[in-house]
C-alpha cells in the first residue's frame, strides 16, 4: 500500500553535502484537495513501506493521505557508506525531528504543486531550488513562502492541509517530540507506546515482565535461568548450540539474548506461547531448558524472525553499510542518547543473575557500558540527563498529544501514563495487550491486517481506546480546519 519516492535533505546547517532520504505515500483514501495528511514516523530499522495497521482504518475514516519518511541512516537513507563511529555523529533524535519538519514542508508544497497547472514543471523546479538550499532553516522558510504563493494562485482559502503525526515505540516518542518542538507543523500527535523517558537503569522493565508472567510462569523462567547458568559454566558450547546461538562467544551476549526472547512474548501479545509450554514442562518434570530452547527457536527466531547475530558484538562492530546495519545504528542511539538499559531488580529477577544489578548496580550496567565501548570506542556514553532535559521525559510540556500504552508492555514504564486535558493518556488493558496494541492489534507476529483486535483477550478494551483516539483526532483536526491552518 505504498508508492516509493526519494527526497534530498540536508543534514547539517552549513554543510553542502546531501543524501537521499526515502519516503512512501498512500493516497487511496485521500480526499482532494483539503483532506488531512497523516505522517507516520518510521524508526530504528529500514522503512520498507506503510504497513496495513489501524492507521489505514483511520485514513479511510478521515479521508487522509498517509506518508512515511525513513529515519536518517537506516535502510536506504544513509548519508555515508561507512558507519564508522565518527560518521554516526549526525544520527540522533534531534536530527530526525528536523528531517521530519523539512519533509513535512516539502511534501505540503509538492502536494499544492500537483494541484496547480503545469504540475510536472513546478515539481522539477522545486527540486532544483531545494538542492540549492544550504540550511534547514532556509528550506523551511522557502517552503512556507512557496505554499502561500500556490494557495493564492489556486484561490485556496484553507491554506495548508491539516497534518497529524503518528508513531509507535521510539517513533512514538518522535511523534510526541515533533509536536513538542514543531507545534506549528501539526494539529496533533498520537504517541503509541512512546518511550519518552530516557532511562539508565530500567529495572521497571523486568518487574513488569514478572508481573505479566504471573507466579507460575515467573517461577519457571527463574528456574530456566538457574539451569542455564549451571550448564553455561560446564558446557557452554553445547548449550549455545541447543538454542541456535553458537556464534555468541561472549556469555553475557548469550544471556541477554535469552532474556530478550522471553520479553518479546509479553511485549508483543503472545504470553501463552511462552508460558504454557514452560509451566507444563515444570509441572510434569520435563527438561525446562529444552522446553525454553524449543520456544526460542520456534517463536523468537522462527515466527518472530529475530536473528542471533543481533546480539553478536562482532556483528555490531561491522561498519560496512548493508541490510543488517540497523542493529549497529540503534545501539549507537542507545549508547549516546536514551540508554533504556534493561537491568534486573536487586531481587526476584526473571533475568539471569549473571547480568543484573546486584552488588551496587555493577554487572548489568557494566555489560551495556562495556558493549558501547567495545562496539563504538572510548567516550561513548548515554546522555540520559541531557535527553530528558531537552524533551522533558514524562514531564513533557506539550499539547494535543495523546499517549497510549498496553497493560502488559514493559516499555510503558518509559512512557507518559498520567493524563491531562491537553495530553490524554489511555491504557489498553487485557491479558495480551502489549506494545502498540492500539494500532497493531494482538498478537503482532505476524502483523494483523488493519490492526484487527479480534485476537486480543478483550477486544472491547481495544475498541474503547480506539474510539477515544478517533474523538481526539477528530477534535484536533476540526480545530485546525476551523482556523484555516494546518496546525495550532
Instruction: Specify whether 372 is located in the same domain as 398.
Output: no
User: Has residue 304 got a pLDDT over 70?
Assistant: yes
| 435 catalytic residue (yes or no) | yes
Instruction: Specify whether 322 is located in the same domain as 230.
Output: yes
CA distance 458 to 51: 23
User: Has residue 136 got a pLDDT over 50?
Assistant: no
* pLDDT for 126: 53
Instruction: Specify whether 233 is located in the same domain as 334.
Output: yes
* pLDDT for 135: 38
Which among 51, 68, 78, 169 is annotated as catalytic? 169
Instruction: Specify whether 72 is located in the same domain as 4.
Output: yes
Which among 435, 438, 486, 487 is annotated as catalytic? 435
- Using only C-alpha atoms, the chain has a radius of gyration, in whole angstroms, of 23
What are the pLDDT digits (tens) for 44-91? 999 999 999 999 999 999 999 999 999 999 999 999 999 999 999 999
Instruction: Specify whether 191 is located in the same domain as 207.
Output: no
Instruction: Domain count for the chain, please give it.
Output: 2
Instruction: Specify whether 340 is located in the same domain as 284.
Output: yes
Instruction: Specify whether 179 is located in the same domain as 33.
Output: yes
Mean pLDDT of 278-295: 98
- Cα distances from 257 to residues 70, 265, 332, in angstroms, run 27, 13, 18
Sign of CA dihedral 395, 398, 400, 403: negative
Mean pLDDT of 281-285: 97
Work out the mean pLDDT of the chain and round it to a whole number.
89
Q: Which of 384, 413, 430 is the last residue of a domain?
A: 384
Instruction: Specify whether 65 is located in the same domain as 174.
Output: yes
- What is the phi/psi pair of residue 121, to 5°? -65, -35
What are the pLDDT digits (tens) for 202-248? 999 999 999 999 999 999 999 999 999 999 999 999 999 999 999 99
Instruction: Specify whether 92 is located in the same domain as 30.
Output: yes
Instruction: Specify whether 48 is located in the same domain as 185.
Output: yes
Which among 189, 409, 486, 487 is annotated as catalytic? 409
Q: Which of 384, 409, 434 is the last residue of a domain?
A: 384
| 409 catalytic residue (yes or no) | yes
Cell digits of residue 339: 540508554
Using 50, 70 and 90 to split pLDDT, how confident is the model at 3?
Answer: low
Instruction: Specify whether 37 is located in the same domain as 130.
Output: yes
CATH number at residue 101: 3.40.50.1820
What are the pLDDT digits (tens) for 323-346? 899 999 999 999 999 999 998 887
**Domain span holding position 423:** 1-196+392-488
Give the SS3 label for residue 85.
helix
For residue 78, cis peptide bond before it (omega within 30 degrees of 0):
no
Whole-model pTM?
A: 0.91
Give the SS3 label for residue 47.
coil
Q: Which of 356, 384, 412 is the last residue of a domain?
A: 384
Residue 247 DSSP label: T
Instruction: Specify whether 373 is located in the same domain as 398.
Output: no
Measured torsion, CA atoms of residues 129, 134, 137, 143, in degrees rounded to the nearest 10: 0
Amino acid at each position: 500500500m505504498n508508492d516509493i519516492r526519494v527526497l534530498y535533505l540536508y543534514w547539517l546547517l552549513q554543510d553542502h553535502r546531501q543524501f537521499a532520504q526515502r519516503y512512501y505515500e498512500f493516497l487511496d483514501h485521500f480526499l482532494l484537495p483539503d483532506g488531512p495528511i497523516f505522517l507516520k514516523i518510521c524508526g530504528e530499522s529500514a522503512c520498507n513501506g506503510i504497513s496495513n495497521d489501524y492507521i489505514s482504518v483511520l485514513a479511510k475514516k478521515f479521508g487522509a493521505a498517509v506518508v512515511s519518511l525513513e529515519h536518517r541512516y537506516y535502510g536506504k537513507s544513509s548519508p555515508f557508506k561507512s558507519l564508522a563511529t565518527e560518521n554516526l555523529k549526525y544520527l540522533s533524535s534531534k536530527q530526525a525531528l528536523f528531517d521530519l519538519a523539512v519533509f513535512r514542508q516539502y511534501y505540503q508544497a509538492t502536494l499544492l504543486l500537483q494541484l496547480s497547472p503545469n504540475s510536472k514543471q513546478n515539481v522539477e523546479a522545486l527540486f532544483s531550488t531545494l538542492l540549492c538550499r544550504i540550511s534547514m532553516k532556509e528550506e523551511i522558510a522557502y517552503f512556507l513562502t512557496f505554499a502561500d504563493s500556490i494557495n493564492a494562485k489556486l484561490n485556496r482559502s484553507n491554506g495548508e492541509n491539516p497534518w497529524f503525526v503518528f508513531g509507535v515505540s521510539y517513533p512514538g516518542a518522535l511523534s510526541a517530540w515533533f509536536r513538542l518542538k514543531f507545534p506549528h507543523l501539526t494539529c496533533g500527535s498520537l504517541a503509541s507506546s512512546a518511550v519518552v523517558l530516557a532511562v539508565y537503569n530500567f529495572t521497571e522493565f523486568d518487574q513488569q515482565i514478572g508481573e505479566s508472567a504471573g507466579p507460575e510462569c515467573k517461577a519457571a523462567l527463574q528456574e530456566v535461568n538457574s539451569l542455564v547458568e549451571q550448564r553455561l559454566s560446564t558446557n557452554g558450547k553445547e548449550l549455545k548450540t541447543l538454542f541456535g546461538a553458537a556464534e555468541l562467544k561472549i556469555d553475557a551476549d548469550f544471556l541477554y539474548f535469552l532474556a530478550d526472547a522471553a520479553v518479546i512474548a509479553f511485549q508483543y501479545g503472545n504470553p501463552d506461547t511462552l508460558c504454557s509450554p514452560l509451566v507444563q514442562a515444570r509441572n510434569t518434570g520435563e527438561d525446562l531448558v529444552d522446553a525454553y530452547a524449543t520456544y526460542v527457536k520456534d517463536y523468537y527466531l522462527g515466527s518472530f524472525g529475530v536473528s542471533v547475530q543481533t546480539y553478536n558484538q562482532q556483528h555490531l562492530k561491522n561498519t560496512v553499510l548493508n541490510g543488517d546495519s540497523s542493529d549497529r545504528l540503534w545501539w549507537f542511539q542507545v549508547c549516546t542518547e536514551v540508554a533504556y538499559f534493561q537491568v534486573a531488580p536487586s531481587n526476584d529477577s526473571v533475568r539471569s543473575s549473571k547480568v543484573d544489578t546486584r552488588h551496587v548496580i555493577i554487572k548489568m550496567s557494566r555489560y551495556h557500558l562495556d558493549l558501547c565501548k567495545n562496539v563504538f570506542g572510548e567516550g561513548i556514553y548515554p546522555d540520559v540527563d541531557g535527553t530528558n532535559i531537552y524533551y522533558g521525559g514524562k514531564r513533557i510540556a506539550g499539547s494535543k498529544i495523546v499517549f497510549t500504552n498496553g497493560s502488559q508492555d514493559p516499555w510503558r514504564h518509559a512512557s507518559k501514563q498520567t493524563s491531562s486535558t491537553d495530553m490524554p493518556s489511555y491504557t489498553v488493558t487485557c491479558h495480551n495487550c502489549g506494545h502498540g496494541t492500539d494500532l497493531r492489534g494482538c498478537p503482532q507476529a505476524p502483523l494483523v491486517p488493519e490492526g484487527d483486535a479480534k485476537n486480543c483477550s478483550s477486544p472491547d478494551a481495544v475498541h474503547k481506546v480506539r474510539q477515544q483516539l478517533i474523538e481526539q483526532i477528530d477534535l484536533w483536526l476540526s480545530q485546525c480546519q476551523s482556523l484555516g491552518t494546518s496546525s495550532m
